[in-house]
Amino acid sequence: MRIAVTSQDFRTVTGHAGKARRFLVYEIVQGEAPREVERIELPPELTVHEFGGGTSEHPLRGMKALITGGAGGGFVRRMESWGAQVAVTDQTDPAAAVLAFSRGELPATAPGGGCGHHDHHAGGPEGHEGHGHGGCGNC
């Protein structure tokens, strides 16, 4: 199973998942420690917040989960539509967060939920949807 972690510095778990451009990708194999297998650096137009979809593929498609320090409801819904669970954590060590998720110690965000650890407001600028809050349990 492949799990992506938002990490703007490629060292720690960071938030603002919808606008994140850097991700660490871990592979989980039953009975083994998670291991980092890839680093993704997205151009600005491929952030989940900016990505229009259509027929274009996205590098995060195919992930079974995404771990982040904070995510809005729109991000969570997009990841769910791609078949990935989203988990929000206060943990800063990516490998420790992935291990906790693989052990069931870091629950996925409620379907359609998000985390208020960021500053999105409903009724934002024209062309931007408002993002719901709640669902991560840390708000």
Give the model's pLDDT for residue 30.
86
The CA-based dihedral angle spanning residues 75, 78, 80, 81, taken in that order and rounded to the nearest 10 degrees: 180
Q: pLDDT tens, 56-99?
A: 689 999 999 999 999 999 999 999 999 999 999 999 999 999 99
Contact 82, 58 (CB under 8 A): yes
Query: Is the predicted pLDDT of residue 21 greater than 50, yes or no?
Result: yes
Predicted structure pTM score: 0.79
Distance (Å, rounded) from C-alpha 67 to C-alpha 98? 7
Distance (Å, rounded) from C-alpha 115 to C-alpha 134? 5
Distance (Å, rounded) from C-alpha 14 to C-alpha 56? 26
Model confidence band, residue 109 (pLDDT cutoffs 50, 70, 90): confident
Contact 60, 84 (CB under 8 A): yes
Q: In order of start, what are the domains of the chain with their CATH numbers?
A: 2-102 (3.30.420.130)
Model confidence band, residue 7 (pLDDT cutoffs 50, 70, 90): very high
Q: What is the 3-state secondary structure (H, E, C) of the chain?
A: CEEEEECCCCCCCCCCHHHCCEEEEEECCCCCCCEEEEEEECCHHHCCCCCCCCCCCCCCCCCCEEEECCCCHHHHHHHHHCCCEEEECCCCCHHHHHHHHHCCCCCCCCCCCECCCCCCCCCCCCCCCCCCCCECCCC
